[in-house]
């Protein structure tokens, strides 16, 4: 074997019958990884081949990372959910990586805030202060992030009613994670001021 592919699975080129069975597996809801393992190729190779043939459906790619159940422990109090939405609106981000995964994160210097966010779930990184500019009074910076697609979807659905600035990004993320086409998005009316 040539050593290309998982555990040396370089193997022959994918045949039309194999590709047809892979498309049928994906259409039935099988993960991309499982279909690729059955063919003995890398998942990215299968995806690229199906994209070049025009048989690829983006819904298959959107669910590739949707395994397991959400692991976040979100507060049930509407006030705390509103506070979390405010943090995401101000110091946070809802972004899509170059690999197509959605993630939600917050960058802040408050250790207390990041510990509270860590209690909800997710991952925390600490960056030491930058001393290369000769400024020694800078605080360490903390990054809190949620990367699992199930967790991102659960978080965005919980805080969506309270989001103001990043509301559209949340809608786009939920649509893509669920495998819906974002071309169907319509203008979402702005929030009305509370009276």
DSSP string, 122-172: SEEEEEPPP-TTS---PPPEEEEEE--HHHHHHHHHHHGGG-SSSHHHHHH
Based on the domain organization, do 12 and 49 belong to the same domain? yes
Rounded Cα distance, 108 and 126, in Å: 10
**Residue 90 burial by Cβ neighbours in a 10 Å radius (0-12, 13-18, 19+):** exposed
Q: How many domains does the chain have?
A: 2
Based on the domain organization, do 90 and 169 belong to the same domain? yes
Chain-centre distance for alpha carbon 98: 11
pLDDT at 167: 92
Q: Is residue 68 part of a domain?
A: no
Based on the domain organization, do 15 and 86 belong to the same domain? no
Based on the domain organization, do 93 and 139 belong to the same domain? yes
- Do you know the residue count of the chain? 195
For the chain, report the end-to-end CA distance as a whole number of angstroms.
70
Based on the domain organization, do 168 and 82 belong to the same domain? yes
pLDDT at 63: 52
Q: What are the phi and psi torsion angles at 136 (to 5°)?
A: -95, -5
Q: Which two tokens stand for residue 155?
A: 């978080």
Which residue did the predictor score with more confidence, 54 or 63? Answer: 54
Contact 118, 72 (CB under 8 A): no
- What's the CATH code of the domain at 141? 3.10.28.10
Based on the domain organization, do 112 and 55 belong to the same domain? no
Which of these, 161, 20, 175, lies nearest to 88 by C-alpha position?
161
Rounded Cα distance, 46 and 41, in Å: 7
Average pLDDT over residues 107-113: 92
Contact 188, 168 (CB under 8 A): yes
Q: Is residue 193 part of a domain?
A: no
Residue 5, pLDDT above cutoff 80: no
For residue 87, name the pLDDT band (cuts at 50, 70, 90). very high
Show the domain range for 33: 6-62
Report the SS3 class of residue 95. Answer: strand
What pTM was computed for the model?
A: 0.58
Based on the domain organization, do 16 and 58 belong to the same domain? yes
The overall average pLDDT reported for the chain is 79
Average pLDDT over residues 166-173: 92
């Amino acid at each position: 074997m040539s050593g290309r592919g998982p555990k040396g699975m370089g193997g022959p080129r994918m045949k039309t019958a194999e590709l047809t069975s892979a498309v049928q597996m994906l259409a039935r809801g099988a993960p991309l990884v499982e279909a690729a393992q059955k063919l003995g190729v890398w998942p990215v190779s299968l995806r690229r081949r199906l994209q070049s043939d025009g048989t690829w459906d983006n819904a298959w790619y959107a669910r590739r990372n949707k395994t397991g159940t959400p692991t976040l422990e979100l507060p049930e109090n509407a006030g705390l959910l509103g506070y979390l939405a405010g943090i995401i609106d101000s110091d946070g981000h809802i972004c899509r990586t170059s690999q197509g995964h959605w993630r939600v994160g917050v960058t802040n210097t408050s250790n207390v805030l990041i510990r509270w966010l860590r209690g909800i779930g997710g991952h925390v990184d600490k960056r030491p202060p930058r001393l290369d500019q000769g400024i020694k009074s800078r605080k360490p910076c903390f990054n809190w992030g949620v990367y699992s697609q199930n967790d991102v979807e659960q978080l965005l659905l919980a805080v969506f009613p309270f989001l103001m600035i990043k509301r559209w990004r949340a809608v786009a993320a939920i649509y893509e994670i669920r495998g819906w086409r974002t071309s169907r998005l319509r203008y979402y009316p702005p929030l009305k001021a509370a009276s």
